[in-house]
Amino acid sequence: MLEIKNLHVKLEEEDKAILKGVDLTVEAGKVHAIMGPNGSGKSTLSYVLSGRDGYEVTDGTALLEGEDLLEMEPEERAAAGLFLAFQYPVEIPGVGNMTFLRTAVNAQRKARGEDEMSAADFLKVIRAKAKDLKIDAEMLKRPVNVGFSGGEKKRNEILQMAMLEPKMCILDETDSGLDVDAMKLVSDGVNALRDAGRGFLVITHYQRLLDHIKPDVVHIMADGRIVKTGGPELALEVEHNGYAGILEEVA
Amino acid sequence: MALPKIKQDATEARLSALDLPEGGWSARARGEALARVRAMGLPGARDEYWKYTRPDTLVGAEAPQAAVFDADEMPVFDAVDRLKIVFVDGVFDADLSDDLALEGVEIDRLAEARDIHWAQDLYGVLEAKGQSPVERPLAALNTAFASDGLLIRVTQTPSKPISLVYHHRSEVSDAILHHVVKVEAGAQMTLLENGPAAARFNKCMEVDLADTARLHHVRTQGRDHERRAATHIFARLGTESVFKTFTLTVNGVLTRNEVVVEFTGDDAVAHVAGACMGDGDFHHDDTVFITHDAVNCESRQVFKKVLRNGAVGVFQGKILVKPGAQKTDGYQISQSLLLDEDSQFLAKPELEIYADDVACSHGSTSGAIDDEGLFYLRARGVPRGLAEDLMTIAFIAEAVQEIEDEGLQEEIVGRVEAWLARRRS
């Protein structure tokens, strides 16, 4: 599904390398987790894959189902099936949540040469999906993320993911700012989307989220590289020994 | 002090092209206003208050030509249940208008001069008061020479808004209209205005709000690109009254909207807001003066300007808090979204405060489209052009939200969306 090879990235404005040769392959139907200390390059990886400005790829490739992601505009990557759940979802005043989502869904459909979804169909689908995430009609009507609590913003991200039905989902520290109940709700939302045709890359600091979203593969990232890869037990090791122990071990 | 010769000559040149209408009850006010014009002289390029906006085409003896504009979309408030009153090039059109009858409201025309009228106590009175401390000669000119206008007295809350609709049919029309709106205690009304008015339009509206009265005013100006307009609103607010005015301006080579608000009763609220969309040969000036002369009043000024292809936006906004106007809550924000490096925003925010227990804040910014928001939308699959439009809607949202009625908010946003979409395709 997602194939990253030898990815080197530096900040555009300063000559600072952030990713120093990332190799990672996420298969369809699998959940991969990336853990790592602050500043290891986890969030940069998610931004580079989704096409945010400010980064320069100096070497390497990233393919989504064989297509070169790095050559595409952000909206083309989205239409190709990539989704990033933001660590800090952005507030957009004056644009209704529902309007925004319908615009996004139909823009992607149009880009793929599919028919647009009718207003009635859209309403029916979003109501059902919103209900599962305990998002009420009021929240759907309000401007995108404006005045939402931390938990509401993250639930809104998952709702977008559910509506857009991407092939490859990247979750960037979706657990940050969530209490236990919200984490359960968000995780249930993600688990409901687990599917043989869909890949997940879950970026997190803590093992806690991985109790709810059980990964198939766990990677440890440090200083711009994947330094260790293992099964779910690797996340438990981080929980018990911290990153320091693992980093010493691979040094 | 005698006027400089050049200003005196320019003023007399303009005055010689005008005839004083037969005033009836308004004759005296008109005569006094004419004397004010002669004393002040019409605005000139060297006047401090006209530093950012050239007044010459607004004060010249003849109106510059302006092509008649026929819109390809439904006029903005057509879907609203309303009492419609139409002026064509500044001339009242009875055939296009509804009957001037609405329960709870008395509506008369200025042009139907009688010997006595309730508006006698207001016509030119609020305008005259608004001449100090800053002179507004175009408003005095308006009081003297207005050919028509509406005198609206609201005694009980009417069932629907009054909607003033302007049509522009002549390339050389030079219209001067003067409205007076008086809302009595406990009553409230919504007043709508839209449509291209004339090649050159000088409009003045005096608003008197009794204690606990409320007036919501929503207007649109545009898309007739070549027109020039100078408008004034003079509002006097009694105790616990509420005045909210919002203006959307799209296109227009020259527009100057002045709003002058005076709080005379305690615990009153005034919100003055506007959004404008300028592309190319566009100059838009919002000049606001709010005087707090009562206790515990709230004023908000929220202005947003979207400018591209060399468009120019101007904001001059002042909050004056007089001695004793304690607990004043004054807020002022003026922001521009500059869509390229050719466009320009000039802002002069002013605070003058003579009371010690007040909260006043002001801010002014110029910037490009927010990158974070733009990326967020694109990452969801929204193409760049459309994402920029949505971020532009987001930029003006704070001003649009000053409109109390959600349906009217949607009407306004719809117009902005259409304006943006026409430029994207």
Residue B113's pLDDT band (cuts 50, 70, 90): confident
Within a domain: B420: no
Q: What is the pLDDT of residue B222?
A: 85
Element (H, E) at A93: strand A92-96
How is residue A70 annotated by DSSP?
Answer: G
Nearest CA to CA, how far is B392 from chain A (Å)? 9
Q: Over the stretch A131-143, which tens digit does the pLDDT of each residue have?
A: 888 888 889 999 9
Tell which A residues from 74 to 93 touch B, by Cβ distance under 8 Å: 74-75, 77-79, 84, 86, 89-93
A119 and chain B in contact, CB less than 8 A = no
Q: Over the stretch B214-252, which tens digit does the pLDDT of each residue have?
A: 999 999 998 889 999 999 999 999 999 999 999 999 999
Within a domain: B417: no
Within a domain: B421: no
Residue numbers of the domain that contains B331: 5-368
Q: What is the pLDDT of residue B110?
A: 96
Contacts of B384 in chain A (CB under 8 A): 73, 75
Within a domain: B398: no
Within a domain: B73: yes
Q: Is the pLDDT of residue A246 over 90?
A: no
Q: What is the pLDDT of residue B320?
A: 97
Residue range B181-196: average pLDDT? 97
Within a domain: B376: no
Residue of A86, A103, A148, A157 for testing the chain B interface, max B β-carbons within 10 Å: A103
Q: Over the stretch B159-178, which tens digit does the pLDDT of each residue have?
A: 999 999 999 999 999 999 99
Contacts of B381 in chain A (CB under 8 A): 75, 78-79, 104-105, 107-108, 111, 164
Chain B residue with CA closest to A51: the answer is: B379
Residue A13's pLDDT band (cuts 50, 70, 90): confident
Q: Is the pLDDT of residue A176 over 90?
A: no
What's the complex ipTM? 0.95
pTM above 0.80, yes or no: yes
Q: Over the stretch A15-31, which tens digit does the pLDDT of each residue have?
A: 889 999 999 999 999 99
Tell me which residues of chain B have a C-beta less than 8 Å from any C-beta of chain A. 371-373, 375-384, 386-387, 390-391, 393-398, 400-401, 413
Q: What is the pLDDT of residue B23?
A: 81
Residue of B337, B377, B406 for testing the chain A interface, max A β-carbons within 10 Å: B377
Q: What whole-number distance in Å separates Cα of residue B131 and Cα of residue A242?
A: 73
Among candidates A52, A92, A105 on the partner chain, residue whose Cβ is nearest the Cβ of B390: A92
Within a domain: B379: no
Q: What is the pLDDT of residue B211?
A: 98
Are the Cβ atoms of A52 and B398 closer than 8 angstroms?
no
Task: Report the number of distinct structural domains present in chain B.
Answer: 1
Among candidates A53, A79, A89 on the partner chain, residue whose Cβ is nearest the Cβ of B381: A79
Nearest CA to CA, how far is A10 from chain B (Å)? 19
Within a domain: B50: yes
